[in-house]
Structure 1
Amino acid sequence: MTIKLKLELASGQSLKGAPLELLSKGSPIARGIADARGHVVFDAKPGAAELAVRVDRSILRTG
Structure 2
Amino acid sequence: MTIKLKLELASGQSLKGAPLELLLKGQSIARAIVDAQGYATFDAKPAACPLAVRVDRSILPPH
User: For the superposition of Structure 1 and Structure 2, which TM-score range results when normalised by the shorter chain?
Assistant: 0.7 to 0.9
User: CA separation in 1, counterparts of 2:5 and 2:48?
Assistant: 18
Which ranges of structure 1 fall in alignment gaps of 5 or more residues? none
- The runs of 4+ residues in structure 1 deviating greater than 3 Å are none
Aligned-pair identity in percent equals 77
Residue correspondences, number:
62
Pair 1:61–1:16, CA change in 2 (3 A): closer
Q: TM-score, normalised by structure 1?
A: 0.88
Pair 1:61–1:37, CA change in 2 (3 A): closer
| Contact 2:20–2:53 (Cα < 8 Å) also in 1 | yes
